Structure 1
Amino acid sequence: MKEITVAELFAGVGGFRIGLEKASLKYRTIWANQWEPGKKIQHAFECYDKHFGPSLNNSNEDIAVAKNNCPKVDLLVGGFPCQDYSVAHSGDAKGIEGKKGVLWWYINDIIKLRKPSYVLLENVDRLLKSPSKQRGRDFGVILRCLYDLGYYAEWRVINAAEYGYPQRRRRTFIFAARKTTKWYSRIAKKINENPSEVLYKTGFFADQFKVTKGEDFIREYNLKEKVTGEKYIDLVDFSNHFQANFGNTGLMLNGKICTATTKPYKHKQTTLGDILETDGVDEKYFLGENLEKWKYMKGAKKIERTAANGHSYVFSEGPIAFPDPSDRPSRTMLTSESGANRSTHIVEDPKTKKLRFLTPVECERLNGFPDGWTDTGMPEKFRYFCMGNALVVPLITRMGKQLIKILKITEKKLD
């Protein structure tokens, strides 16, 4: 096999790159883009560049500009925010433009221009259900774009904790292959013969992330025509009318969608306690005298409030475990982890048995990063922020191994 060239979008501190390079030395990232809007100092990019650069191929500029500099690669990867993916006609020429979900359209532009053989993307799990008033439209727009550009696609919502990792972090992963690849021809034949077999046994995600059938049946949708049988006029017409109840597993080929709700096989759990530092940590991480404040913050409560229009209502919220149980995987880590809020993890220190915050190293471990990966001179608060934004690296390693397996099976003559 020859090397697999990679471009990494929305690179953060390099989760995709670490994961792929752990999977195989055949992966070579030749271009990456990271830009944090509104930040004078680009801490995440500086971290990325320190580990993988410095290099002219590490781009620190808005993706709206950087997209034109992305080279042709075999594999395009990236994790992008969930936004509003509605589209509309633009100007007198009736061209099509994305209204709010601009980041997807930049990815779409790069795919259209560079035609990578494979695409691997990550997003939050709610992408499949948004927006609430037109369920499934946003994900449908992405699938329609991939179809229009000549790709088949698979997706899987993966909770890292269900596959043996120490954090309950649920994310949607999308894998797409271009029509020109031998894998496309191979999988297209299998899908046409038995799509269920691909969903559960032979598809891209099925080998590394084994699942069993859920309680519902396979649902089918069409990206080319409405339920009435009329063809969509264009992407705007599609955006205005498409709805779907996407399951956590699915595939799309030639504009036809098969999707179902699946359940993961049981795996041995890695717990929050497994990643805690045991030799003692700095005193600044301990709660000190604020226990009652934290008990109130984490506890269930009902509070009477008055809206701006004078309407009275009761704000209520349920309890959060305090401290976080160390005998199970952690809750999802958010970008607000460094702050004093309900979502912040509080643990019992293994050495002193006192309550404390997670350390930056422990946050890195929750996502499978090497210890000290973000210790590059950035403020500690931003180290937490970076991990709240990051993906679980070992998941990418497993996907990277699967792509290598695919290439060995189907594309031995890459030259």
Structure 2
Amino acid sequence: MQKRVAELFAGVGGFRVGLDKLNSGWSFVYANQWEPGKKHQYAFDCYSRHFGTTEKLSNEDINQVDKTEIPDMDLLVGGFPCQDYSVAHSGAKGIQGKKGVLWWDIRDTIEAKRPAFVLLENVDRLLSSPGKAHRGRDFGMILYTLNQLGYGAQWRVINAAEYGFPQRRRRVFIFAYRQDTNYFNTIDSAINLKEALLEHSVYNEALPINKALHLENETTLDGYIDIVDFSDTFSFHFENTGIMHNEDVFTGKYTPKYTGTSTVLNDIVLDHIDDDTLFIDSTPGRREKFEYLKGAKKEERTSSTGFSYYYSEGGMAFPDPLSKPGRTMLTSEHSVNRSTHVIQDKETGKLRLLSPLECERLQTFPDNWTEGMPKSSRYFMMGNALVCGLVTELGKGIDKIIANEDENNNQHVQVNADSITH
């Protein structure tokens, strides 16, 4: 099997950075990156600057892309927004989802190109959205459509810091595989879905877990009239790992089993900073604002309708301890915000924000990956990105799966050749 990759919602190339680090023969044949409503396409420019034009790079709205014109691929990758996946009947036109929901572009790409494998990333709240009434409906819709397309799938919510990375970033990774692959047959031959998940999961190659699962639960995607009936009625509590196979779904809660070293903020923070604007006291009143935002509070507020209520929240570390991994980085990292990291500078002892380079290190990109764009855009890109090192670890499992595809195919060829000889 070839190892051709197409990347949707490519951003500044996190999936590619992660897979390229393996140096195991992955070849990127296509990438699409489009930031709607933006005059300057900084992410696409960054991607192009690093990777050139050896493959087809697309800077157009993915909704407008003819999916049949995308080059053939063996692995489709991408990180996409968590949105409302509900669908409805639309008269003579059949089924229609909400406009602009990017999952349907992934679905259409899979249908048009039939990649053997798919690796996707999303926020962990996808498993529970859209809320109490239809908890788990949106993630269920993804599994339902993958099953309709002829794929099995596994998912796992991964906190990068629990596997040695410098950021406590929780994201769900979805790995799907076509039903005619050897890997699907491996899952098919397992005693049950729990055994398949514990013994044959793509994630376990480099991201091991304890074999005892908690809060186990099962459901089925069968029995619905159509996708609209599914959208209207499906509800399920998905745990942080699970598997979908032939319409059956098994889920459970795992705990990581990591024995390596951990990377903390102190390991990625620079010893010297030249940018004085990063120091919070360089702007009058900024320290006080941070102290208020990060402090514990209980205060009376009034809603827009005149209703009075008490708002309360706990305090958080201020400054952020260098002895621990960073918190989840958001696109607002550079602003005066409760979620923004504030650290004690190594050289001066003064409080400051993280630099764009340090944010790149939080996401395990090479230093100065986003250099050349405005500082605010550099922060935005990293807040939207993924931990590249996690993709490298997941790639190890995919490499092993593909090697098994090739090994079994070679054995099949040898059997046929022997039968002809004799």
- TM-score category of the 2 structures, normalised to the smaller one: over 0.9
Please show how residues 181-196 of structure 1 align to structure 2 within 5 Å.
181-190=181-190, 193-196=191-194
The amino acid across from 1:256 in the alignment is D
Counterpart of 1:405 in structure 2 is 400
**Cα shift at 1:178:** 0.4
Distance in structure 1 (CA, Å) of the matches to 2:332 and 2:96: 33
What's the CA shift string for 1:82-122, capped at 9, x where partnerless? 001111111224x1121256200111011111111100000
SS at match of 2:21: helix
Unaligned runs of 5+ in 1: 225-230
What's the CA shift string for 1:142-172, capped at 9, x where partnerless? 0010000000101000000000000000000
Q: Which residue of the other structure, out of 315, 335, 338, is the alignment partner of 1:339?
A: 335
Asked whether 1:232 is paired with 2:224, we answer: yes
What's the CA shift string for 1:244-303, capped at 9, x where partnerless? 111111001100001100101144321111110013442221112542332122111223
Counterpart of 1:228 in structure 2 is none
Counterpart of 1:370 in structure 2 is 366
Distance in structure 1 (CA, Å) of the matches to 2:236 and 2:66: 30
8 Å contact from structure 2 (residues 153, 245) kept in 1: yes
Counterpart of 1:244 in structure 2 is 236
Please show how residues 206-217 of structure 1 align to structure 2 within 5 Å.
206-213=204-211, 216-217=214-215
Distance in structure 1 (CA, Å) of the matches to 2:330 and 2:343: 16
User: Identity across aligned pairs (percent)?
Assistant: 53
Q: Which residue of the other structure, out of 253, 256, 269, is the alignment partner of 2:262?
A: 269
Unaligned runs of 5+ in 2: 414-422
Please show how residues 10-409 of structure 1 align to structure 2 within 5 Å.
10-54=9-53, 57-68=56-67, 69-93=69-93, 95-99=94-98, 102-132=101-131, 133-190=133-190, 193-213=191-211, 216-224=214-222, 231-267=223-259, 268-288=261-281, 289=284, 290-375=286-371, 377-409=372-404
Distance in structure 1 (CA, Å) of the matches to 2:301 and 2:26: 55
TM (norm. structure 1) is 0.94
Instruction: Return closer, same or farther for 1:101/1:303 CA change in 2, 3 Å cut-off.
Output: farther
Counterpart of 2:418 in structure 1 is none
The amino acid across from 1:276 in the alignment is V
Instruction: Return closer, same or farther for 1:214/1:244 CA change in 2, 3 Å cut-off.
Output: farther
Instruction: Return closer, same or farther for 1:21/1:56 CA change in 2, 3 Å cut-off.
Output: closer
Answer with 127-136 or 96-105: which moved more: 96-105
The amino acid across from 1:339 in the alignment is S
Instruction: Return closer, same or farther for 1:252/1:215 CA change in 2, 3 Å cut-off.
Output: closer
Question: How large is the RMSD of aligned CA atoms in angstroms?
Answer: 1.7
What's the CA shift string for 1:208-234, capped at 9, x where partnerless? 22112556342111001xxxxxx2110
Distance in structure 2 (CA, Å) of the matches to 1:109 and 1:91: 21
SS at match of 2:118: strand
The amino acid across from 2:176 in the alignment is A
What's the CA shift string for 1:18-59, capped at 9, x where partnerless? 111112341011100001111111101100011112467110
Distance in structure 2 (CA, Å) of the matches to 1:189 and 1:101: 39
Distance in structure 1 (CA, Å) of the matches to 2:212 and 2:302: 43
Instruction: Return closer, same or farther for 1:215/1:78 CA change in 2, 3 Å cut-off.
Output: closer
Aligned pair count? 404
**Cα shift at 1:305:** 2.1
8 Å contact from structure 1 (residues 67, 109) kept in 2: no
8 Å contact from structure 1 (residues 76, 118) kept in 2: yes
Distance in structure 1 (CA, Å) of the matches to 2:390 and 2:213: 25
Distance in structure 1 (CA, Å) of the matches to 2:293 and 2:138: 35
What's the CA shift string for 1:367-398, capped at 9, x where partnerless? 000000000x2101000000000000011011
**Cα shift at 1:308:** 1.9
Answer with 251-260 or 270-279: which moved more: 270-279
The amino acid across from 1:373 in the alignment is W
**Cα shift at 1:309:** 1.5
The amino acid across from 1:249 in the alignment is T
Distance in structure 1 (CA, Å) of the matches to 2:19 and 2:351: 36
Distance in structure 1 (CA, Å) of the matches to 2:213 and 2:247: 25
8 Å contact from structure 1 (residues 153, 174) kept in 2: yes
TM (norm. structure 2) is 0.92
Distance in structure 2 (CA, Å) of the matches to 1:3 and 1:56: 15
